[in-house]
Amino acid sequence: MGKGSGHTAPPIEPEALSRFEELTLPHLKSLYGLAVRLTGDGAAAEDLVQETYLKALQAFPTLRNPERSRSWLFQILSRLVADKQRTGNREILTGDLTELDRFSLYHAIADEDPFPYSDHLHEDFLAHFQDEEVRRALLALPEEYRVPLVLVYAEGLSYRELATTLGCPMGTVMSRLHRGRKILERELWECAKRRGLVRTWKP
């Protein structure tokens, strides 16, 4: 493992450690899946998961409800992602939020009509993207939008579970999911422009 191995485990009684492993290791697969989808990289995901387990072990005495251990682990991992993103700069800019909220990929495609002879205009538009372009757009989302979207897409979390995991009200969850999707729609449109699928000028 990489930089995550610099951290050491806090001292803990063997019984407590066994209890911790029993509660948390069954979620390793979900946690690793989330880490891969948030980082886009297997090695970085392993480091992130390792760091998550060490943080969780430190915080284990504060876990009041063992039933919640999965969302508690998701919460710790999400915070670590947020901390790391603060030092990075790869994210796309959200820009004018009012304009963003108004953007609709559906309408942009319909107005532009890039495939005039198509009977399935919107489907044909999506079919032109490579998987990697979609992944890049998702990974470039600011963390506050990427984490809830990935949790919904990959783990199927409800809005209530998301609110608990992210430690924010349901209204914030809804607005982040809305904006995250809108940013992705706009990124796909910008990507289509760069690829010459649609015009880059307006008459």
Partner 1 sequence: MRQAARIGQDMEAMKPLTCEQAANQFFAYLDRALSGEPLQALEAHLETCLNCCDKLRFQRQLDDFIKARLPEARLPADLDAKIRRVLRG
- Residue placing its CB nearer to partner 1 in the complex, 106 or 113: 106
103 binds partner 1 (CB under 8 A): no
Assigned token pair, 171: 């209204």
Question: Where in 143-172 is the site for partner 1 (CB under 8 A)?
Answer: 150, 152-154, 158-159
Q: Who contacts 173 (Cβ-Cβ below 8 Å, separation ≥6)?
A: 148, 159, 162, 163, 166
Query: Rounded to whole angstroms, how far apart are CA atoms 148 and 151?
Result: 5
Query: Rounded to whole angstroms, how far apart are CA atoms 203 and 198?
Result: 13
Draw the binding track, 19-58, toward partner 1 (x: CB under 8 A; -: no contact).
-xx---x--xx--xx-xxx--x-x--xx--xx--xx--x-
Phi, psi of 82 (to 5 degrees): -60, -40
8 binds partner 1 (CB under 8 A): yes
Q: Number of residues interacting with partner 1: please give it, by CB under 8 A.
A: 48
In the three-class reduction of DSSP (H, G, I as helix; E, B as strand; rest coil), residue 165 is classed as helix
Q: From the CB of 72, what's the least distance to partner 1, in Å?
A: 16
Q: From the CB of 156, what's the least distance to partner 1, in Å?
A: 9
Query: Rounded to whole angstroms, how far apart are CA atoms 100 and 148?
Result: 18
Query: Rounded to whole angstroms, how far apart are CA atoms 165 and 8?
Result: 25
Please report where in the chains the tokens 């993207």 appear, as a residue: 129
- Residue placing its CB nearer to partner 1 in the complex, 78 or 201: 78
| Sites of contact with partner 1 (CB under 8 A) | 1, 5, 7-9, 11, 17, 20-21, 25, 28-29, 32-33, 35-37, 40, 42, 45-46, 49-50, 53-54, 57, 104-106, 122-123, 126, 131, 134-135, 138, 150, 152-154, 158-159, 174, 177-178, 181, 184-185
